Amino acid sequence: QRKDKGKYLAGWIRALLALILVGVLSFCGLFACVMYGAYDHIQGEPEVMVILGCQVRQDGPSVLLRDRLDEALDYLEDHPDMTVVVSGGQGPDEPTSEAQAMADYLTAHGVEEEKVLLEPDSHNTAQNLDYSRRLLDREGIDTSDGVLLVSNGFHLTRARMLAERAGFEQVSTLAAPASHLPSRLYMYVREPLALVKSFLFDRAG
């Protein structure tokens, strides 16, 4: 009987180790997908840029959001005629909508106000992209030459997937750095799991 118990326990341990191995391998595969998207992938000459929102603090955009905005500004220096959509609503701990904070930052750094469209109602990445596409449709702005998404590198694999799901046909990405090290480490652990969640549940309205 003791032998049978030992075999039974060993079987459970092997099954548990197998599950852990599958989990680790799955996470590594997802992490590789996130890392692949964490670089610039630009097709052609997109005429529309969508900057995805992030935390706004009392003193202005957070470090991660400033990274996105500064990367966008660098690109806009050479492409000043682009239409720019800034996308993000206002959270309970934010003094203004992310869209407004981004628009203020861009115009303060020389972007023409009439080039910036605000999408201030979204509260997650899927909504960012769905609402931005609807805004562009309402404004009659053609995206057939593609759209350029701007976010921190860790975010772009998921953002591309959700942009295509929202109806954007040719999606390019511009990868901003993540200057805040603790946030960068946290996001690279979180984002593979968020990718699974978005794949399963985030659908365009």
pLDDT tens-digit profile of 157-171?
A: 999 999 999 999 899
Residue 82 CB contacts under 8 Å (≥ 6 apart), including other chains: 46, 47, 48, 49, 76, 115, 148
Q: pLDDT value at position 23?
A: 81
| pTM for the full predicted model | 0.86
Residue 1 has pLDDT above 80, yes or no: no
Using only the alpha carbons of the chain, give its radius of gyration.
21
Cβ pair 68, 105 in contact under 8 A: no
**Of residues 136 and 180, which shows the higher confidence score?**
136
Q: Is the pLDDT reported for residue 82 higher than 80? A: yes
- Give the pLDDT band (50/70/90) at residue 174: very high
The CA-based angle 14-16-18, given to 5 degrees, is 70
| Per-residue pLDDT at 5 exceeds 80 | no
Picking from 178, 130, 165, the residue whose alpha carbon sits closest to that of residue 34 is 178
How confident is the model over 27-31, as a mean pLDDT? 81
Q: What is the DSSP letter of 88?
A: -
Q: Among residues 42, 52, 43, which one has the least CA distance to residue 129?
A: 52
Q: What is the pLDDT of residues 102-143, one digit of tens each?
A: 999 999 999 999 999 999 999 999 999 999 999 999 999 999
Residue 199 — very low, low, confident or very high, per pLDDT cuts 50/70/90?
confident
